[in-house]
């Protein structure tokens, strides 16, 4: 115990001690708590799915635990990175992810009519998961440099990366990840002070992409038609999810007692929230939603207090991306929007998703670490602070 205390002592200048006293521990513990929620819900939702597939009852539970351990290591490891290495790691992830997105179209594994996964050294990964946080960081870097020095083509480079990524995602096709990329890019443009009419154009473009997806991709049209008029298409999973949500009532039926979740095909993945509601109840689900809201709000507050323009933009973009992805998954579970195939961060089953989100949250923790030279908080709204720093050349 004495040795452990010495490692974390404020008086010692070790990397671990410096990390411990500069990291935002409230945000760190909230993220770890969300991982614990995910592990708990895996016990509730995964066994019926595994049994239907002819696997051992605890197959997905064991794999979820196996993914959680490296995800936690990745998140903590990334939170140690200085700004220079944050940019380097994000740039490598972005360029590598874009290359893999291109290879997915030619060599990827087809699942339900989409090519989103590729096998590397026997492991199947989804490159788009790593592209999301990397784009948030690199786009923030380019836009921050543009605002500090007008001769840097930050907006052009950001737009080029964005268009390439969106094109590759739509060719898979993956409309859900495309929507998340559009939301991330739009949030960054908003934070850097873009005019309202350009925001309107971006919104109209996003709606146009939805229309094109509806006309071009039959499975997208089928999901939208089934959502608008359930009698016209296969709405089985959404209906089972609603049954599972309603079955548990306020306090749930108890561990292992849920019935509706047994007929929910993706109870361990996209619909884990609905599956958990049947056993633990609505109050438990509200606690989970409250924890996610705390993470997003806490991250945005920390982002606002950053002295560096890059840190403020990147941390805000990562927090918004985390929040939007969570919102998409939850609204799908509540049957408020058509199914999107979007995981609930740290809760849904999925190795690539969990590790990629851990990487993004680790970068967020690193960007929001307290620095000795930053002893003040701006006290200004994010957009106002960004404009102020741009005029000062910070």
* List of residues 6+ apart from 309 with CB closer than 8 A: 144, 147, 148, 386, 389, 390, 394
Residue 148 burial (10 A CB sphere; 0-12, 13-18, 19+): middle
Residue (of 316, 340, 319) closest to 328 by Cα position: 340
The C-alpha atoms of residue 102 and residue 361 are separated, in whole angstroms, by 26
Residue (of 105, 219, 77) closest to 172 by Cα position: 105
Do the beta carbons of residue 136 and residue 143 sit within 8 Å? no
Residue (of 138, 132, 185, 66) closest to 322 by Cα position: 132
* List of residues 6+ apart from 152 with CB closer than 8 A: 142, 145, 146
pLDDT digit string, tens, across residues 158-206: 999 999 999 999 888 888 898 899 999 989 988 888 777 777 777 787 7
In residues, how long is the chain? 394
Backbone angles phi and psi of 119, in degrees to 5: -95, 125
Residue located via tokens 């990562």: 318
Structural Rg of the chain based on CA atoms:
21
pLDDT in tens, the chain (394 residues): 445 455 556 656 677 888 888 999 999 999 999 999 999 988 888 888 888 888 888 888 899 999 999 999 999 999 999 999 999 999 999 999 999 999 988 887 766 666 788 877 777 888 999 999 999 999 999 999 988 887 788 888 999 999 999 999 988 888 889 889 999 998 998 888 877 777 777 778 777 777 777 777 776 777 776 677 666 656 667 777 777 777 777 877 777 666 666 767 777 788 888 888 888 888 999 999 999 999 999 999 999 999 899 999 999 999 999 999 999 999 988 888 887 778 899 999 888 899 999 999 999 999 999 875 443 343 444 444 444 454 444 4
CA angle, residues 130, 96, 132, in degrees to nearest 5: 25
């Amino acid at each position: 115990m004495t040795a452990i205390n010495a490692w974390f002592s404020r008086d010692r200048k070790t990397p671990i001690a410096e990390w411990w006293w500069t990291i935002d521990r409230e945000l760190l513990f909230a993220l770890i708590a969300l991982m614990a929620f995910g592990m708990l819900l895996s016990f509730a939702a995964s066994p019926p799915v595994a049994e239907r597939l002819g696997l051992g009852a605890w197959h997905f539970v064991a794999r979820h635990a196996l993914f959680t351990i490296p995800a936690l290591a990745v998140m903590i490891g990334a939170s140690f990175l200085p700004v220079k290495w944050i940019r380097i790691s994000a740039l490598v992830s972005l360029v590598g992810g874009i290359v893999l997105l291109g290879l997915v179209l030619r060599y990827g594994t087809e699942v339900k009519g989409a090519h989103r996964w590729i096998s590397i050294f026997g492991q199947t990964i989804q490159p788009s998961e790593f592209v999301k946080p990397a784009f948030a960081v690199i786009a923030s870097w380019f836009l921050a440099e543009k605002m500090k020095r007008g001769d840097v083509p930050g907006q052009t480079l950001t737009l080029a990366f964005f268009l390439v990524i969106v094109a590759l995602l739509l060719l898979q096709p993956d409309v859900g990840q495309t929507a998340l990329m559009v939301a991330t890019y739009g949030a960054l443009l908003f934070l850097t002070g873009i005019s309202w009419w350009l925001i309107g154009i971006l919104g109209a473009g996003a709606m146009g992409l939805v229309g094109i997806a509806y006309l071009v991709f039959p499975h997208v049209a089928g999901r939208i038609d089934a959502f608008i008029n359930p009698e016209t298409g296969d709405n089985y999973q959404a209906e089972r999810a609603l049954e599972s949500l309603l079955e548990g009532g306020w306090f749930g039926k108890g561990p292992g007692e849920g019935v509706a979740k047994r007929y929910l095909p993706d109870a361990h993945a996209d619909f884990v929230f609905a599956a958990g509601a049947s056993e633990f109840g609505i109050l438990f689900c509200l606690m989970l939603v409250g924890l996610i809201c705390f993470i997003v709000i806490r991250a945005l507050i920390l982002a606002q207090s950053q002295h560096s323009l890059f840190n403020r933009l990147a941390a805000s973009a990562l927090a918004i991306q985390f929040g939007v992805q969570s919102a998409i998954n939850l609204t799908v579970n509540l049957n408020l929007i058509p199914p999107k195939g979007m995981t609930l961060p740290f809760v849904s089953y999925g190795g690539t998703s969990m590790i990629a989100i851990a990487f993004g949250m680790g970068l967020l923790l690193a960007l929001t670490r307290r620095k000795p030279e930053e002893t003040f908080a701006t006290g200004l709204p994010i957009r106002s602070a960004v404009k102020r720093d741009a005029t000062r050349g910070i």
